[in-house]
């Protein structure tokens, strides 16, 4: 993958000129353009310095800084853009120019911040590169990037990773989404309210015009995401999304896909990390000339769902790197006399406990077919205890990532040993009292003993294994993230 050029044009409307390296064949322009480029590059470096001063950790490590409202200011030619809108294209020589002209005109008239439009060419073989270069030379605030490999995800990763804008967005070249939704899309990111924003064609108040085939495929795909990956967002594939720059800096290295599944993977990981995703109902008209291969895209998406689901199941993704610092979430603010999260933890623990008990009883009944009651009880408790600790770690106490997982399991085994002593002691007492109790009697005694062990387990997990934070500003290098 290479980037041949990033070109920008002189244009008008007082909007900011894009920054970055200019390719050797890129048009330079006249009327002091070289000095303008120098000012833009200096402003770009100043923007990066400000970002570094807010978060001194290396890219991909540490925690995200507290969201801040981006400062307002006069829209000038030298000002670093607040918004960078990427338009990925492949062989779009017909639609590219009217799309960019329309988008540029809309932003010039309605967007109150400096902006940039970046055309990301995915190895087009027609005259798309020439059209894009001409637009970059003609319009201020338009840039052109050439990639020698295809893939919408690859284009977004390349441009977003190199952008100095604090808010990054993209939209499809056909402009199927009404542009009036663009400002509502990025406003929560500019204000610091949200981390990502997506347009939704499946929201209740969205207005969509498209064929029944595409409607069915879209709804079926999002149903698969909700059922397999527990996705809470309503529309993964709408080509109308935005993300804050510091979030993209941490999140993009974790996203493996470089094609159409890029959007879905980005959103699933962000949601699992606890980032806030804002949804905007859109007015959307299907492009009948779309070149998307539905069957091939659907196949690749399903492969991506399997890959991401497997990675999440084994804890292979360091999602703790995406955590916001303590205090950014109002739910983290301590209230006098109110144990933080107790009600939610009790509900989660009860659900996990009920499922663990059923799992334990099934294992005990299975093991009892070949071994005695004590061995069956110990084996069933051991397996269910490991599963119970892992489930409570993530679902009840909200710990993400692999940090501290081994220690938590070791502490969980100590809790398991206490439960084993209770249940084994109950079985021993039953045997001493009745000699040869029936299987039903054994299960009744075990259920009672497990209930007592469950209460003790919750108290130990909450106070010892996953203790609440004692201060509102923990060490950023601590390994546990709630």
- Residue-wise pLDDT for 220-247, tens only, equals 888 888 888 888 888 888 889 999 999 9
pLDDT at 377: 82
Q: Return the higher-pLDDT residue of 474 and 398.
A: 398
| Separation of alpha carbons 478 and 482, rounded Å | 11
Q: What angle do CA 173, 179, 180 make, to 5 degrees?
A: 170
Q: What pLDDT, on the 0 to 100 scale, is given for residue 42?
A: 46
Q: How far apart are the first and last CA of the chain?
A: 38
pTM of the full structure = 0.60
Please name the residues in contact with 269: beta carbons below 8 A apart, sequence gap of 6 or more. Answer: 251, 254, 255, 308, 317, 319, 322
Q: Mean pLDDT highest for which of 3-17, 226-240, 322-336, 417-431?
A: 226-240
User: DSSP label at 328?
Assistant: S
CA of 92: how far to CAs of 160, 181, 246, 350, in Å?
Answer: 21, 23, 31, 55
pLDDT tier at 132, thresholds 50, 70, 90:
very high
Element (H, E) at 264: helix 262-272
Confidence bin at 215 (pLDDT 50/70/90): confident
% of the chain at pLDDT higher than 70:
76
Per-residue pLDDT, 290: 62
> What percentage of the chain reaches a pLDDT higher than 90?
30
pLDDT of residue 346: 83
**Phi, psi of 144, rounded to the nearest 5 degrees:** -135, 130
Q: Average the pLDDT over 214-218 and give the result.
A: 82
Residues in the chain, overall count? 482
**Would you state the pLDDT for residue 142?**
95
Q: What is the pLDDT of residue 77?
A: 58
Contacts of 47 (CB under 8 A, 6+ apart): 80, 164, 166
- Span 96-113, average pLDDT: 94
Is pLDDT of 148 > 70? Answer: yes
**pLDDT confidence tier of residue 388, bands split at 50, 70 and 90:** confident
> Does the structure show a pLDDT above 90 at 219?
no
Long-range pairs, 130-133, Cβ under 8 A, ≥24: 131/93, 131/96, 131/97, 132/89, 132/96, 133/5, 133/7, 133/26, 133/27
CB 309 within 8 A of CB 229: yes
């Amino acid at each position: 993958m290479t980037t041949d050029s990033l070109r920008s044009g002189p244009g008008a409307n007082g909007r900011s000129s894009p920054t970055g390296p200019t390719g050797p064949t890129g048009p330079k322009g006249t009327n002091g353009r070289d000095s303008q480029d120098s000012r833009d590059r200096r402003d770009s470096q100043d923007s990066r310095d400000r970002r570094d001063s807010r978060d001194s950790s290396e890219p991909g490590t540490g925690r995200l800084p507290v969201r801040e409202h981006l400062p307002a200011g006069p829209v000038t030619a030298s000002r670093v853009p607040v918004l960078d809108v990427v338009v990925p294209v492949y062989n779009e020589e017909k639609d590219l120019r009217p799309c960019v002209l329309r988008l540029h005109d809309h932003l010039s008239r309605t967007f109150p911040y400096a902006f940039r439009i970046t055309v990301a060419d995915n190895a087009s073989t027609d005259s798309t590169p020439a059209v894009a270069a001409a637009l970059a030379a003609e319009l201020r605030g338009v840039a052109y990037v050439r990639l020698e490999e295809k893939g919408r995800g690859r284009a977004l990763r390349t441009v977003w990773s190199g952008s100095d804008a604090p808010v990054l967005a993209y939209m499809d070249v056909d402009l199927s989404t009404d542009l009036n939704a663009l400002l509502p899309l990025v406003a929560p990111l500019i204000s610091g309210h949200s981390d990502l924003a997506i347009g939704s064609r499946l929201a209740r108040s969205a207005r969509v015009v498209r064929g029944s085939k595409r409607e069915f495929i879209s709804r079926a795909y999002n149903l698969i995401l909700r059922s397999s990956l527990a996705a809470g967002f309503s529309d993964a594939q709408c080509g109308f999304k935005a993300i804050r720059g510091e979030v993209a800096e941490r999140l993009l290295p974790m996203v493996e896909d470089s094609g159409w599944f890029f959007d879905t993977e980005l959103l699933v990981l962000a949601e699992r990390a606890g980032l806030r995703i804002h949804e905007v109902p859109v007015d959307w008209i299907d492009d009948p000339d779309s070149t998307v291969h539905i069957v091939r895209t659907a196949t690749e998406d399903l492969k991506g769902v399997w890959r991401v689901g497997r990675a999440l199941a084994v804890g292979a993704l360091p999602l703790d790197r995406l955590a916001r610092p303590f205090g950014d979430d109002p739910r983290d603010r301590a209230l006098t006399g109110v144990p933080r999260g107790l009600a939610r933890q009790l509900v989660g623990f009860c659900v996990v406990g009920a499922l663990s008990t059923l799992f334990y009883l099934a294992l005990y009944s299975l093991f009892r077919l070949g071994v005695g009651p004590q061995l069956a009880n110990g084996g069933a408790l051991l397996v269910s205890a490991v599963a119970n600790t892992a489930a409570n770690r993530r679902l009840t106490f909200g710990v993400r990532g692999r940090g501290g997982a081994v220690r938590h399991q070791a502490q969980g085994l100590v809790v398991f040993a206490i439960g084993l002593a209770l249940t084994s002691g109950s079985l021993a007492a039953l045997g001493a009292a009745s000699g040869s109790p029936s299987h039903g009697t054994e299960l009744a005694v075990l259920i009672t003993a497990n209930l007592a062990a469950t209460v003790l387990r919750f108290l130990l997990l909450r106070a010892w294994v996953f203790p609440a934070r004692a201060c509102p500003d923990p060490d950023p290098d601590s390994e546990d993230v709630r």
